[in-house]
Amino acid sequence: MTVVVPYPTLLATVTGVFADRGVPPDRARVAAAALCHGDLTGVTSHGVVNLARLYLPLLDSGRCDPAADMAVTTDLGACVHADARRSLGLWSAAQAVDLAAARAARHGIGLVSLRGATHIGCAGFHAARAVEHGMVGLVASNCGGQRIAPPPGGREPLLGTNPLALACPAGDRHPFVLDMSTTVVPTGRVRAAAREGREVPEGWLADDSGAPVTDPSAFDRGEARLLWLGGRPETGAYKGFGLGLLVEVLSALVPGAALGPVGGGADDDIGVVALVIAPERLRSGFGGDAGRLFEAVLASAPADPRAPVVYPGWWEGERARWRRAHGVPLPEELYEQLRAVAPALRAAG
């Protein structure tokens, strides 16, 4: 059973919830858009399901400071180092991209290196803000001190799921938005399968001997570990783990945020990198070439004529367009959960 909520209603509701907790209204609206982006695009593991599960407990416990300002600690022009000071990551990551885009407009490239952040939601939402300026945006974040997946050949969790996103204009098509955990899947997809009583495909989880596990509830029982992109060592597990470390380096080691392998602990003091490139400052013709590149991907011959080839971000763009017009479907349980924190919420019709 799903309940359909008009997108403006959902956005206003979540904005109100954040504002009620002391988040300044303009920031509350950005944070709400970041959170609702998950439901709008179908990345439901990072949508409003996380409001009651993740963000309100962060605010209510004081681990997140709703009204804190980001403090710039070093400013070299193209490159800024800042402390997010426990402000809402859903907002600070967007702020970091906007600042990086402003610097890229002047210097061709802009880097904002952020420590002290809290959970940023969908990295792709933030990266895609660069596309509004005709620019390329890269956003990555570690999980603070939180350890989730062990290295290949390791016994103990060492790093988080360390998301990485890149967004690029694609002419008049939906922008290219790659938004990925560096593990095979993020933990949210394992837990969603556990809640729904579904098995997960071979290749997501393994036991200590490396044998595949398809029961998702084994993960939270500590009987299965999440695999890195690439799966087994002979099919590229070291690359997925290496990408997890790449994110740890760029997003957390560079700014001096908490590091999963050093100390460990909760997902506090998260590091974020926002890197924006302004290609039109470097050469003319970028916009047209970008359109031709992604048009060519969409025109690539499919194996099954009923399933056209698409690029990351295309389906999410289609879903978002439809749901902006026709409403966002929420599972009834989630709708009720949302009404519990925002009693004024009403479904469509």
* From 150, 160, 186, 327, residue interacting with its own copies (rule: CB under 8 A): 150
Stretch that binds its own copies, among 25-33, 231-239, 321-329, 333-341 (CB under 8 A): 231-239
Least separation in angstroms between residue 235's CB and its own copies is: 4
Q: Given the complex with its own copies, which of 31 and 127 has the nearer CB atom?
A: 127
Query: With binding defined as CB under 8 A, does residue 180 bind its own copies?
Result: yes
Look at residue 199 and give its three-state secondary structure.
coil
Q: Is residue 161 a contact partner of residue 182, using CB atoms and an 8 Å limit? A: yes
Q: How many angstroms separate the CA atoms of 20 and 94, rounded?
A: 21
Alpha helices in 164-285 (DSSP H): 187-195, 217-220, 237-247, 279-282
d(CA 33, CA 223): 36
CA dihedral 196, 201, 205, 210 (to 10 degrees): 150
Q: Minimum distance from CB of 85 to its own copies (Å)?
A: 15
- What character string, x for contact with its own copies (CB under 8 A) and - otherwise, covers 157-176? -x-------x-x-------x
C-alpha span between 110 and 272 (Å, rounded): 14
- Site residues for its own copies, window 113-142 (CB under 8 A)? 113, 136
- DSSP single-letter state for residue 303: S
Among 52, 297, 341, 347, binds its own copies (CB under 8 A): 297
The helix or strand, by DSSP H or E, that contains position 133, with its residue range, turns out to be none
Per rule CB under 8 A, is residue 304 in the interface with its own copies? yes
Q: Does 312 bind its own copies (CB under 8 A)?
A: yes
Strands 71-75 and 79-83: antiparallel
Tell me if residue 348 falls in helix, strand or coil. Answer: coil
Nearer to its own copies, 68 or 105 (CB): 105
Among positions 42, 242, 329, 331, the unique one binding its own copies when judged by CB under 8 A: 242
Closer of 84 and 184 to its own copies (Cβ): 184
196 lines the binding site for its own copies (CB under 8 A): no
Cβ proximity to its own copies, 16 vs 124, nearer residue: 124
Task: Rule CB under 8 A: say whether 72 interacts with its own copies.
Answer: no
4 binds its own copies (CB under 8 A): no
Rounded Cα distance between 174 and 62, Å, is: 38
Give buried/exposed letters for 220-236 (b at 16+ CB in 10 A, else e). eeeebbbbbbbbeeeeb
When asked if residue 194 is in the footprint of its own copies (CB under 8 A), the reply is no
Considering the rule CB under 8 A, would residue 85 count as an interface residue with its own copies?
no
The distance from CA 44 to its chain's CA centroid, rounded to whole angstroms, is 11
Q: Does 300 bind its own copies (CB under 8 A)?
A: yes
Shortest distance, CB of residue 328 to its own copies, whole angstroms? 23
| CB 156, CB 147: distance < 8 Å | yes
Question: Which of 68, 134, 191, 238 touches its own copies by CB under 8 A?
Answer: 238
CB of 176 to its own copies, least distance (A): 6
Beta pairing, strands 328-331 & 2-5: antiparallel
* Footprint of its own copies on 199-228 (CB under 8 A): 201-204, 208, 210
Whole-Å CA distances, 279 to 12, 104, 134, 224, 249 = 35, 9, 8, 44, 25
- By the rule CB under 8 A, 46 interacts with its own copies: no
Residue of the chain from 85, 281, 319, 339 that contacts its own copies (CB under 8 A): 281
Q: How many residues bind its own copies (CB under 8 A)?
A: 82
Q: Is 289 in the site for its own copies (CB under 8 A)?
A: yes
Rounded to the nearest whole angstrom, what is the least distance from the CB of residue 249 to its own copies in the complex? 5
